[in-house]
Amino acid sequence: MSKMYYRELYCGAPVRFWMGLATLGSIIAIGLGAAYYMEHNGHWVTGMSNQVVWGLPHVFAIFLIVAASGALNVASIGSVFGGPLYKPLGRYSGLLAIGLLAGGLMVLVLDLGRPDRLIVAMTQYNFKSIFAWNVILYTGFFAIVGVYLWTMMDRSVGKYNRPVGFAAFFWRIALTTGTGSIFGFLVAREAYDAAIMAPMFVIMSFSYGLAFFIMTLITAYIWGDREIGDLRLTRLKNLLGVFVGAVLYFTLAQHLTNLYVSQHHGIERFILLDGGVYTQMFWIGQILIGSILPLFLLYSPAFDKSRWAIVAASVAVLIGGFFQIYVIVIGGQAYPMTLFPGKEVIESGFFDGQVADYAPTFPETALGVAGIALALAMVAVGARVFKVFPETLED
Amino acid sequence: MSNKSDSPSTDRRQFIGGTLAAAGALTLAPGVILHALAANDKATAGASGEHRWGMVIDTNKCADGCSACVDACNSEHALEGHDRPATDAVWIRPVKLKDKQTGHVNRLVMMCQHCEHPPCVDVCPTNASFKRVDGVVLVDRHRCIGCRYCMMACPYKARSFVHEALSDQSVNAPRGKGCVESCTLCVHRIDAGGMRTACQEACEKEGHAAILFGDLNDPESEISRVLKTHNSVQIRADLELNTGVRYLNL
């Protein structure tokens, strides 16, 4: 194989880069303004309430955090599992992972009731809390991926690349296990008491992360007028197909197991049949757009080597993934908790037995979108400042 | 040290080992002692493990249409409403139930159940949710970061997030915008030696006496006597949380 040269990414017309960055900057500024508005007035100005305590910002944050850990896959395949076609993409994989995690964490932190007390979260740990573990897992991820990038970019420390790659791989598995476990150990809520959540989140991360990776990689190479070979893209595309299928399999296993337990029939009926917007999001968003459409685009011979189809499939995976997390996070909370089995609530001072209303408001949406903008802005600046992208990815 | 044997001398190793152990102990000891002291401190400040405070609610006595306990709780803790039921703080709420099979109707009040094994305390990342040695589950408003994980974990929907700015707070219960809160079992009264909560007082005043507060650890207390002679249930007993609030005739 010929020697690989990496070069900073410049686009053909500089104005395109600066305009792009300015747009992302404005979106971030609007998001920060929205966060200030929500903190200043209190959370009542959002759609969140004492029944749906985690709203749209959590959906964005979890989506980005899960995707971040998955974005590191390509680097892992390159240096841990020794895939030569993936190795040149390792640097970008690391950069994208850091960007996505930063975007997700910004949203998560700014949605706290007291974001000013972040220092308390960093200094006071209850090790029985998965959240406390996640604080360590998230900050550690930055450090490990940072060192990982260093071993990829600096020849003098290149010999440590493999062990650091291994560490990063295990760390990222731990990170998504931790994120999934947030929803795996809430015994009180019927939607969240399944240990399958942890491995399912790991596989979701593979899928969303790779979709983000493929989409932004193709965009960057068009942007910088560089070449990507079909062979490499076909590899990535096939891998995405496998991950999408795996997410579908886990979803099936999750719902089939629940359907066996009569205690869970209520929540399953709610998500799968008569949950209104959540049922639609599940079937149309997650299953149709997020699973069946991309599988068709990726595997149909009609779209063989079509880059348009690969990008469209990646976008569909991301849209479906977003709905999947929305249904898990918000649908799971909207469904009423069973406090009194066998009894019907005929009167309550606090919405017992009722499906909770939730409609996201503009500030929440703006904060969430700002998280994506921050991730993209970090990637855009990182790719321009560091030698991240190979000059060419021809086969 | 002997030079006659060719086996290596262990004296030096012992010396090095001993020094290391001593250095280790010296490094760790102050921390361990401080930690122990701190833990001790927390345990003795105002609460005693000899007690376990709890409540019994007699659903037969909880009167239809009555909201005396809710009003009393709101005024005791200055829980002002903004006419936004989804986001206003609710520390205690009436619930009316009908048995799906038999049609039997019950009315009761729900609040923080002050569990022995509180899920909210388990999930709190910063230890802001905590249980006192006397069984009262509280939120440290200086440590709460407002992540709401405890609200996700609570099986009783007992917690409220402060959704708006506060004014005219009561000294009985300092609150904080952006923090989570719930029934304190009128801990300010307990610590002042009182034996009745605001809700119990209001319920008695209405002539219902559906709420009884007391020490579950004291076999002579009225609550212990009632619980010993009557069949009571815990809500969601399947979770094995050993709640401090029990219900009669449910």
Segments making up each domain of chain A, as ranges: 6-338+352-390
Residue B149 lies in a domain: yes
Of chain B residues 80-99, which have a CB less than 8 A from chain A? 82, 84-87, 89-90, 92-99
Specify whether B91 is located in the same domain as B140.
Answer: yes
Tokens 């970019």 sit on residue: A153
From B98's Cα to the closest Cα of chain A, the distance in A is 5
Angle between helices A56-71 and A362-385 (to 10 degrees): 20
> Contact at 8 Å (CB) between A112 and B145?
yes
> Tens digit of pLDDT for each residue in B111-127?
999 999 999 999 999 99
From B246's Cα to the closest Cα of chain A, the distance in A is 14
Residue B96 lies in a domain: yes
What are the chain A neighbours of B125 within 8 Å (beta carbons)? 121, 124-126, 129, 131-132, 134-135
The secondary element (H helix, E strand) that includes residue A347 is: strand A343-348
State the residue range of the domain holding B238: 49-248
- Tell me the three state secondary structure of residue A81: coil
Specify whether B21 is located in the same domain as B97.
Answer: no
Specify whether B56 is located in the same domain as B28.
Answer: no
Query: Whole-prediction pTM value?
Result: 0.90
Q: What is the DSSP string of B149-216?
A: HHHHH-TT---EE--S---S--TTS---TT-EE----SHHHHHTT----HHHHHHHHTT---EEEEET
Q: What is the DSSP string of B30-83?
A: HHHHHHHHHHHHHHHSS--TT--EEEEEETTTS-TT--HHHHHHHHHTT----S
Specify whether B38 is located in the same domain as B118.
Answer: no
Which chain B residue shows the shortest CA-CA distance from A115?
A: B145
A1/A5 Cα distance (integer angstroms):
12
Look at B97 and A346 and tell me if their CB atoms are within 8 Å: yes
Domain count, chain B: 2
Q: What is the DSSP string of A192-204?
A: G--TTHHHHHHHH
Question: Which has the minimum average pLDDT: A57-66, A248-257, B12-21, B236-245?
Answer: B12-21
A119/B contact by beta carbon, under 8 A: no
Residue B175 CB: number of other CB atoms within 10 A?
18
- What is the pLDDT at residue A209? 97
> Contact at 8 Å (CB) between A199 and A190?
no
> Tens digit of pLDDT for each residue in A10-39?
877 788 889 999 999 999 999 999 999 999
What are the chain B neighbours of A51 within 8 Å (beta carbons)? 86, 157
Which residue of A130, A349, A357 is in closest CB contact with B70?
A349
Q: In the CATH scheme, what architecture does the domain A6-338+352-390 have? A: Up-down Bundle (1.20)
Specify whether B119 is located in the same domain as B30.
Answer: no
Residue B160 lies in a domain: yes
- What is the pLDDT at residue B16? 66
Residue B197 lies in a domain: yes
> Tens digit of pLDDT for each residue in A125-184?
999 999 999 999 999 999 999 999 999 999 899 899 999 999 999 999 999 999 999 888
- Tell me the three state secondary structure of residue B97: strand
Buried b (16+ CB within 10 A) or exposed e, A116-138: ebeebbeebbbeebbbbbbbebb
B218/B53 Cα distance (integer angstroms):
10
Q: Which residues pair with B129 in a beta bridge?
A: B139
**Testing the interface with A: which of B107, B111, B157, B181 to mutate, by most A Cβ within 10 A?**
B157
> Tens digit of pLDDT for each residue in B178-211?
999 999 999 999 999 989 999 999 999 999 999 9
- What is the pLDDT at residue B45? 55
Residue B157 lies in a domain: yes
Residue B150 lies in a domain: yes
Q: How far is CA B241 from CA A32, A106, A238, B114, B163, in A?
A: 41, 35, 48, 9, 28
Specify whether B34 is located in the same domain as B106.
Answer: no
Look at A42 and B177 and tell me if their CB atoms are within 8 Å: yes
What are the chain B neighbours of A189 within 8 Å (beta carbons)? 152
CATH number of the domain that residue B120 is part of: 3.30.70.20
Residue B168 lies in a domain: yes
Specify whether B28 is located in the same domain as B70.
Answer: no
Buried b (16+ CB within 10 A) or exposed e, B229-245: eeebebbbeebebebbb
Residue B167 lies in a domain: yes
ipTM of the complex: 0.92
